Structure 1
Amino acid sequence: MAGRPKQDNSQVQGAAASLLNGLAVLEAFSVQNPVLGVTEVAQRVGLHKSTVSRILSGLTDAGYVQRDEETGRYRLGLGLLALSGPLLADLDVRRAAVPYLEQLTANTNETSAISVWNGAEAIVVEQVASPHQVKHTAWIGTRYNKFESSSVRVFLAELPPALAADLVDSGRILRAKDDGLPEDIATHLKEVAHQAYAVNDGLSAEEEFGVSAPVRDYRGKAVGCITVSAPRSRVQKEGVKDSLVQAAQQAASEISIRLGWSASLPG
């Protein structure tokens, strides 16, 4: 449940405990596991099946989950879209990015997305899919916490070196033993910050290429990052990777300017 800090439910009672349990049940669903039964949810959240069944029944009545009458299993309901709508509509960086993502995909014919940082993960909040049949896409709400991900390294490069290292050392940011990146995290992230982009060339998945560049607000703070993703097999031709890097940086710069960033600001 990476969307909010874990809490000890033994220290809360009544309505507060019920609320936390309800949120835990909702967070049990994911892109990888969109449909779950009562037993599966109970195992994920550590609650008794009867408790989970009551919670799911209430969430179904509220429209936040829906039950398949044939299988008895559950999936998230459309009521969550209404709940999150005001937040997404008011997320300035997402709203500002949409036309530039559309143009970026039109220019590159590859999938473009914008992510935000929650302290330990890059979360996709908008994307425009490639028109190609074979493409790389990510559901809105997809979370990335692998060091090899270009978006993760862009955000880590904005943090104090000690904090970035602690996120990796503690395991909150996952890192493969032989990912082909420099072992010295601080030096690598300093280079990412200096060049203002990071590349994932088959580091997190053999057939994946991605490049990310930071989006800054009027303070010069990185409030998001633009990512262009493509199958590696399609970017092997000379100059294609460089052109995707330039396109991602250009889009990120244009969105940043729209948010009030100036090249005279740090970053």
Structure 2
Amino acid sequence: MVGRPRQGSEQTQGAAASLLNGLAVLEAFSIAQPVLGVTEVAGRVNLHKSTVSRILAGLTEAGYVQRDEETGRYRLGLGVIGLSGPLLADLDVRRAALPFLEALTTQTSETSAIAVWNGQEAIVVEQVRSPHQVKHTAAIGTRYNRFESSSVRVFLAGLPPARVAELIESGLVVRSSADGLPQDYAAHLAELRDQEYAVNDGYTTDEEFGVSAPVRDYRGVVVGCITASAPRSRVQKLQSADQLVAAVRKAAAEVSARLGQPQA
């Protein structure tokens, strides 16, 4: 059964039972099956079709579901977004990311940070410093607009190609001929979009190694990026690049889950 398990009559009665049944009906809808008929919902929540029909009628009137007049099937309505708005507003990406940044630095012993995109730059909004004496750090508020930066490329990979071209051609995003990066930036960004991370292997400064991965919110939109930075010499000596990539991707996935990213 999909959704909230319905409580037995011995546990809940009257208004409480009606409320739980209504919640179960709402939870029957999913990303995989966003449109359902009365019979389908009834089967998922183990309620009689007449009961489900009454619940859906009430939810439609309240704006929590929408009924397609042609097919008679239902989908979630905008009222659900309004109901969850206060929670979503409180799930600030910086606040959500901090415990995962701390865990990432504990795991890797390297500096971790989260940045957001202001339309043309990546801005560091939180950071946990490496315990090593030799480390790479950036003050909160630091802005990056170089294409070679792993965080900048993660954000660019999430933008429409026309907007990326506009940013590069206008010089708002600065692109140099760094060794190791393909000249076809559009193809490169498409690859990053698929692999869900970017690496800066000395592209910005000779001694920096950085890994960035996107953070997505409940809409699946990129709203931030987790980065781990380390001296290249330490990464090369320990041969830990793959481990660093895996750790950053895991942290970004955890923050995304905290922000409600839809699961495949």
- 2:255 is equivalent to residue 247 of structure 1: no
| Contact in 2 for aligned 1:216/1:259 (Cα 8 Å) | yes
Give 1 or 2 for the bigger CA radius of gyration. 2
Matches within 5 A, 1:103-252: 103-237=103-237, 239-252=239-252
| Contact in 1 for aligned 2:148/2:178 (Cα 8 Å) | no
Residue type at the aligned position of 1:230: A
| Contact in 1 for aligned 2:217/2:256 (Cα 8 Å) | yes
Separation in 2 of the partners of 1:145 and 1:162?
17
| Contact in 1 for aligned 2:177/2:183 (Cα 8 Å) | no
> CA offsets per residue over residues 44-100 of structure 1, 9 Å max, x none?
xxxxxxxxxxxxxxxxxxxxxxxxxxxxxxxxxxxxxxxxxxxxx967000000000
CA displacement at 1:195 relative to structure 2: 0.3
> CA offsets per residue over residues 118-153 of structure 1, 9 Å max, x none?
010000000000000000000000000000000000
Match of residue 71 from structure 1: none
Q: Point out the more displaced range, 148-157 or 235-244.
A: 235-244
Helix, strand or coil for the counterpart of 2:219?
coil
Separation in 2 of the partners of 1:212 and 1:246?
11
Separation in 2 of the partners of 1:257 and 1:91?
11
- TM-score, scaled relative to structure 2: 0.65
Alignment size in residue pairs: 176
| Contact in 1 for aligned 2:196/2:214 (Cα 8 Å) | yes
| Contact in 2 for aligned 1:151/1:225 (Cα 8 Å) | yes
Separation in 1 of the partners of 2:145 and 2:96?
25
| Contact in 1 for aligned 2:209/2:230 (Cα 8 Å) | yes
| Contact in 2 for aligned 1:197/1:213 (Cα 8 Å) | yes
Match of residue 262 from structure 2: 262
Unaligned runs of 5+ in 1: 1-88
CA displacement at 1:181 relative to structure 2: 1.0
Helix, strand or coil for the counterpart of 1:173?
coil
Separation in 2 of the partners of 1:179 and 1:170?
23
Residue type at the aligned position of 2:222: A
Separation in 2 of the partners of 1:218 and 1:132?
35
> CA offsets per residue over residues 197-225 of structure 1, 9 Å max, x none?
00000000000000000000011000000
Identity %: 69
Separation in 2 of the partners of 1:238 and 1:163?
39
CA displacement at 1:263 relative to structure 2: 2.7
RMSD: 1.4
- Which ranges of 4 or more aligned residues in structure 1 deviate by more than 3 Å? none
Match of residue 96 from structure 1: 96
CA displacement at 1:113 relative to structure 2: 0.1
